Amino acid sequence: MAKSNYLSSLTDEKLADLRQRLLARQNQRCFICEDEIDLQLHSDSLDIDHIDPLAADGLDAENNFALTHSKCNRSKGASNLEVAQRMSKFERLQNEARNNGRRGANLGDVLTTYGGSTEELRLRQESNLVKFTLSAVGDDTVRVAPTCADRLSGMSSFFAELPIEYLHHDDKINPRTIGSNLRGLIEEFQKGRPQLHVALAWWAPEPEGDSAGRVRVFDGQHKAAAQILLGTRSLPVRVFLSPDSDVLRQANTNAGSKLKQVAFDTAVMHHLGSSLYADRVAQFKEMRHLNDDDFSFSETELVGFFSGEKREMLRYIVDAQKDAIMRHENNRLTEFVEWAGKGASLPLSYSAIDKTFFREFLFRKALATDLDDGLETGENPRQLERDQLVRLMTMYAEAVFVDKWDPDTGGRRLENRVQKGEAIAHAHLRAWRLSREEVLANVLSQGVRVVLEHYYALRRQSVRRDRLLHTRAPDELWDAVGSFLANLVALPCWVDSQLSGTVFGSKQNLDFWERVFDTGKAPNGVQVLAQKIDVIEMTNPPDTILT
Judge whether residue 545 has pLDDT over 60.
no
pLDDT digits (tens, 9 = 90+) for 237-273: 999 999 998 888 888 777 666 655 444 556 666 776 7
Task: Give residue 263's pLDDT.
Answer: 46
Helix then strand then coil, in percent of the chain rounded to 5, is 45, 15, 40
* CATH 3.90.1530.10 segments of the chain: 107-256
Pairing of strands 199-203, 337-338: unpaired
CATH 3.40.1800 boundaries in the chain: 5-80
Lowest mean pLDDT among 94-98, 268-272, 482-486, 510-514: 268-272
**pLDDT of 247:** 87
According to the model, what pLDDT value does residue 277 have? 87
Mean pLDDT for the stretch of residues 124-134: 94
In whole angstroms, give the CA distance from residue 32 to residue 88: 6
Question: How many Å apart are CA 86 and CA 490, to the nearest integer?
Answer: 43
> pTM score, two decimals?
0.62
- What is the per-residue pLDDT across 139-161, written as a single tens digit (0 to 9) for each? 999 999 999 998 888 899 999 99
Domain 107-256: CATH class, spelled out: alpha beta
d(CA 41, CA 227): 36
- The three-state (H, E, C) secondary structure of 70-139, written as one string: HHHHHCCCCCCHHHHHHHHHHHHHHHHHHHCCCCCCCHHHHHHHCCCCCCCEEEEEECCEEEEEEHHHCE
* Architecture (CATH level 2) of domain 5-80: 3-Layer(aba) Sandwich (3.40)
SS3 204: coil
Question: Are residues 373 and 305 in contact, defined by beta-carbon separation less than 8 angstroms?
Answer: no
Contact 451, 481 (CB under 8 A): yes
Angle at 44 between CA 43 and CA 48, to 5 degrees: 80
**Beta strands in 70-108, from DSSP E residues, in sequence order:** none
Helices vs. strands in the chain: H and E counts, helices first: 20, 14
Q: What is the DSSP string of 16-41?
A: HHHHHHHHHHTTTB-TTT--B--TTT
For 486, residues 6+ apart whose C-beta sits below 8 A from its C-beta are 399, 541, 542
